[in-house]
Amino acid sequence: MKHAQNRPSKPREPVRALILPSAAMLLCISLIPLFMLIVFSFVDGNVTTTTGISGFTLKNFLSIFSSSTVPSLLWKSFGISFLVTVLCILIGYPAAWAIAKVVKPRNRNMFVMLSIVPALVSQLLLIYAIMQLLQSGGLVMNFLEALGICSSSDSILYSDTAVIIVLVYEYLPYMILCLYSCLEKIDDNVLSAAHTLGAGRGRTFLDVVLPQSFSGLLAGILVIFIPVAGSFVEPDTVGGPYSMMIGSLINTQFNTTLNMGYGAALSFVLLVLMSLALALINGGMKLAQRKIGG
């Protein structure tokens, strides 16, 4: 964006002050709380107005790193997150390609808009809808019984599988959207050229399509991987007793056991790991891009 030339020639100074409300909001309600989260993660026990902060301790971090459950929960959360992201790519890539290159141009926007409707309908309603389908005696279970795979009184609800299904369902639209906006920009002439020059379908995909869709893929991965790793609603509602994720543990610290300092420390560790994961994904994508040549 070229800002300079769009700026009116005579700047009117008082307008500049209009940034203040938004800047204050951003600072006080997003950035400072994140900083406070770090501070509170060194506080022992609960944070309330009456007791205030009595002192700082490393206890929270020590108990996180010495416990056996937290690392395995973290591992599991990132594993589920990885699986959900991969599933979204596998399902979303061909679908995005179909919208961008196969469907008639005038229908494209409609398809994209349609595909984000489920993402904009409330997350809780989606969970509810899928619970209705997956419950024992529900439609999917009856269908599976008809196919002779399992009995309709069984249910995959309240298990890790159900959590993964719900998460894929929730985040798939974002992947389709991110990939579509990249794939759509690929010039059809380039595809024809690759074909004319004798490139097979696989070769065209690897050398032309994939490199050009890297930015969309990256955006999609970020949009999915990070929030999924921190999800707590899905394991709480459709997960079973052993489907806890790290988000559920953090949630428990604030709503059940009220050990807020420990919860803050967990959130802090999660944030740090997420940043590491972000850096890794970014680096990995760049490396892959250079290898394939985009």
Residues in region 70-89 near other proteins by CB under 8 A: none
Confirm or reject binding of residue 250 to other proteins (CB under 8 A): yes
Cβ 165 to other proteins, closest distance in Å? 10
Residues between 128 and 147 that touch other proteins (CB under 8 A)? 128-133, 135, 137-139
Confirm or reject binding of residue 280 to other proteins (CB under 8 A): no
* Window contacting other proteins (CB under 8 A); options: 57-65, 71-79, 152-160, 224-232: 224-232
CB-based burial label for 217 (10 Å; 0-12, 13-18, 19+): buried
Q: How far is CA 66 from the centre of its chain?
A: 28
Confirm or reject binding of residue 102 to other proteins (CB under 8 A): yes
Residues between 225 and 244 that touch other proteins (CB under 8 A)? 226-234, 236-237
Type of residue numbered 266: L
Confirm or reject binding of residue 175 to other proteins (CB under 8 A): no
Among 87, 127, 162, 163, binds other proteins (CB under 8 A): 127
Question: Do 216 and 182 contact (CB within 8 A), yes or no?
Answer: yes
Residues between 1 and 30 that touch other proteins (CB under 8 A)? 1, 3-4, 6-13, 15-23, 25-26, 29-30
Cβ neighbours of residue 230 closer than 8 Å, sequence gap 6 or more? 77, 246, 247, 270, 274
| Positive or negative torsion for Cα 207, 213, 215, 218 | negative
Q: Closer to other proteins at the Cβ: 51 or 291?
A: 51
Please tell me whether residue 218 adopts helix, strand or coil conformation.
Answer: helix
Among 86, 91, 144, 206, binds other proteins (CB under 8 A): 91
Residues between 29 and 58 that touch other proteins (CB under 8 A)? 29-34, 36-37, 40, 47-49, 52-53
Angle at 214 between CA 210 and CA 217, to 5 degrees: 105
Question: Do 73 and 246 contact (CB within 8 A), yes or no?
Answer: yes
